Structure 1
Amino acid sequence: MNITDHDAARTADRLTRSVAGTVTPRPALSLLPTYAAGKPPRPAEGLTPYKLSSNENPLGPVPSVERAIASVDTVHRYPNPGAEQLRAALAETLDVPVEDIVTGTGSLGALTQVISAFAGTGPDGVPDEVIYAWRSFEAYPIVVRTAGAQDVPVPVTQDGRHDLEAMAAAVTDRTRVILLCTPNNPTGPALRHQEVVDFLGKVPRDVVVVIDEAYQEFVRIEDPVDTLALYREHPNVVVLRTFSKAHGLAALRVGYSIASPEVTQHLRKVAVPFGVSTLGEVAAIASLEALDEVNSRVQNLVQERQRVRDALIDAGWNVPDAQGNFIWLPLRDHAGDFAHEAGLQALAVRAFDGDGVRVSIGETEANDRLIQLCKTYTRTS
């Protein structure tokens, strides 16, 4: 289609919409999947309901964080534009330059900044490409397509791991960003440091490689990815982290990216001003000051995760290596049925139709009820 034909088509489309009297979104929105948040549990007689569908921390924040939040008396004032105090605290805790940190509304907000800055539709009208493993975090295709880029999902292996060899082979001249999710949400396995080092050696240096580690505090494997070392060695690496999971601050939406100045200078241009609230900043700083308590709570959840996984494996279930605060049941076409049965037991779990069910590690009673369900559950034909 030449420019004249293109303009004529746009004019005809606008006339059609004007006559119809409707306001319509841009066509790209019709291609977006809808993000499905974890649903709350349904009540069941005689049972305490538990939400195991959103990977929330059932223990909540440590007490000092709750006190810090209660002390805030400036909610009528705008927060710090770039969460400067939090960035300073993170820089000291992580031993990185403060200029290398950009905050966002959770790690998803930080990811949106990266995609907005580095991937979209090129001057030639052809979309850039963003590679990620699939199944992985369901917001990935939404963020990528909203920016006008083309998502390139690469299937995970049978045991729910990133197929890094296939992801490297998927790189083209149009590739602008690659997303690595470790531990992978929702399947659970985490990447190892050496395999990521090898992967980076196959990726062009002008391609941004995002390592999304929202659950990194829960990882307990040999040779875990040292993302801070990787970002120091590779200017194209961006690390994403959040206070939503281990720190129990999901409702306050505090996340951040760590990257070299040649990356962060662009992220700040697309960052939403005042993205992190005063409550969020105060809470996150207080949580950093209580890291020993936070890590102790995380360890409790890790032990509970292992208990649940061991029990399910003993019951004959195939449960991939779980390194987040959740487990994955690869039920495929039975995912919806299992979620229904869990609902009858007042347990809300997260079903991914055709793939499986993700179950967050929750309160001990909730985990016990899940184990019992799995022991008695019979797959429908």
Structure 2
Amino acid sequence: MSILSQVRELDLRTDTLAALPAAVNPMALALNENPFPPLPAVRSAVSQAVGVANRYPEFLPERLRSLIGARIGVLDEQVVLGAGATGVVSQALHAMTHPGDRIVLSTPTFDGYPILTRMARLTSVQVPLDEYGHHDLDAMADAATDAKVVVLCRPHNPTGTLESAADVERFLRHVPRETMVLLDEAYIEFVTPEHRLDSAQLVARFPNLVVLRTFSKAYGLAGLRIGYGFASPELAEELSRMQLPFGMSITSAVAVAACYEAEDQLAQRIRFITDERRHLRRRLQAMGIVSTDSHANFVYLPQQGRPWREVFRDTGLQLRYFDNGALRITAAGRASTQAVLAALAR
């Protein structure tokens, strides 16, 4: 019996859910995890790799770099690897900045960026999103004139919104070449093809650009911590100086290879998740609740004068609350969606 089948047969009382590990808890909707376990071929490959866990992985992950580079259409030497996309960001900040340098962030933003900013002892310049959850790209480009780094998330976390390809390119043209741009595409697999950027082509044109991606979201490997970035060969070489020896686990390359070989199954799971996100948004709209136009695997609800923490108190639902009063809900299965809607209706 699959993990999901086991979950569906559980009594979904709060005390039962509290005893479940988050990975199999259908009410764990705070971290934008994939609700499915890894694909069968991936589980098999990782299990076999664990059999040689007594051996060190590659000193530097050259095999994994080649695998990813070939898939996304860039040179091996353009790929930088880390413990999730967060690990790549950490390497980039420590390679390219000094304490006291400025970093431009939207607010709100992915929780990891303020943490990594403090770790690198940088000065954060925060630019608020507009009322629709989009970046103020003009203000961010202006702030970047005396900053060392500027971060653009597409889709944005936590709102799920997208900036147009034309706006992104205009933004990149306005940012000084000596300012590193981190284009965070952690949720890119959930974006329909017509809305995706030609990121490899952008990297070729903008030598200060680093594109960040991860296997934690759509691929469902959050627990394996596999992320990567790609940039011009020159910038990637600088970032790779911070590559931790033996830093990528022995399971990383085999897991990624198995993921790439099972893209059809992955596409089915992505369709399931995006369909559930659309269903949740439609039901929220019918209840008069506003949400942003999300292109990721979650829905973002502005405050709207509603005390979200009180609404969901004692429901067993694990959701992400923000200091501005907003709420983010991961799109998972129908059971979790119904639990969210029931709490709102109550």
Q: State the TM-score, normalized to the length of structure 2.
A: 0.89
The 5 Å alignment of 1:67-146 reads 67-72=44-49, 73-121=51-99, 127-146=100-119
Matched residue, 1:153: 126
For the aligned residue pairs, the C-alpha RMSD in angstroms reads: 1.9
Checking the alignment, whether the CA contact within 8 Å between 2:273 and 2:333 is kept in structure 1 is no
Residue 132 of structure 1 and its aligned partner are, at CA, apart by 1.5
Query: 1:333 and 1:273, CA in 2 relative to 1: closer, same or farther beyond 3 A?
Result: farther
| Paired amino acid for 1:55 | N
Residue 327 of structure 2 corresponds to residue 357 of structure 1: yes
| SS across alignment from 1:68 | helix
Do the aligned residues in 2 keep the contact of 1:332 with 1:353 (CA within 8 Å)?
no
1:68 maps to a residue whose letter is: A
> Cα 1:192–1:60, aligned 2, differ >3 Å: closer, same or farther?
farther
Number of aligned residues: 327
SS at match of 2:251: helix
Take 1:43 and 1:339, find their aligned partners in 2: how far apart are those partners?
A: 19
Provide the rounded CA distance (Å) in 2 between the counterparts of 1:291 and 1:223.
Answer: 19
Cα distance, 1:283 vs. partner? 1.1
Q: Secondary structure at the match of 2:202?
A: helix
2:33 aligned with 1:56: yes
Counterpart in the other structure of 1:282: 254
**1:151 Cα deviation after fit:** 1.1
Residue 312 of structure 1 contacts residue 375 of structure 1 at CA under 8 Å; is this kept in 2? no
Structure 2 distance, partners of 1:46, 1:247, is 28
**CA positional deviation for 1:374:** 2.4
Q: Does 1:267 align with 2:239?
A: yes
Pick the aligned partner of 1:65 from 42, 46, 50. 42
- Give the aligned residue type for 1:164: L
Is the contact between residue 100 and residue 258 of structure 1 (CA under 8 Å) also seen in structure 2?
A: yes
Q: What residue is the counterpart of 2:138 in the other structure? A: 165
Q: 1:296 aligned to 2:268?
A: yes
List per-residue Cα deviations over 1:45-73 (Å, max 9, x = no partner): 68786101110000122110011011121
Q: Is the 8 A contact 1:192 1:224 kept in 2?
A: no
1:348 corresponds to 2:299: no
User: What's the CA shift for 1:191?
Assistant: 2.0
CA distance in 1, matches of 2:333, 2:43: 20
1:74/1:338 CA distance change after superposition, 3 Å: same
Say if 2:291 and 2:301, in contact at 8 Å, map to a contact too: yes
Q: What amino acid maps onto 2:83 in structure 1?
A: T
- Do the aligned residues in 1 keep the contact of 2:26 with 2:35 (CA within 8 Å)? no
**Alpha-carbon shift at residue 372 of structure 1 (Å):** 2.4
Q: Which amino acid aligns with 1:156?
A: L
Q: How many Å apart are 1:168 and its aligned residue?
A: 1.2
Give the equivalent residue in structure 2 for 1:19: none
Shift of 1:282: 1.6
Question: Is residue 301 of structure 2 the alignment partner of residue 329 of structure 1?
Answer: yes
Q: Deviations over 1:127-178 (max 9, x none)?
A: 21111111011221221222122111100011111110111121233x1111
Q: For the residues of structure 2 that align with 1:346 and 1:75, how far apart are their CA atoms?
A: 37
Are residues 132 and 293 of structure 1, via their aligned partners in 2, closer, same or farther at CA, if it must alter by over 3 Å?
A: same
Distance 1:342 1:232, change over 3 A: same
Question: 1:333: Cα distance to partner?
Answer: 7.0
Between the aligned partners of 2:243 and 2:327, the Cα distance in structure 1 is 34
The structure with more radius of gyration: 1
Deviation of residue 347 (structure 1)? 1.2
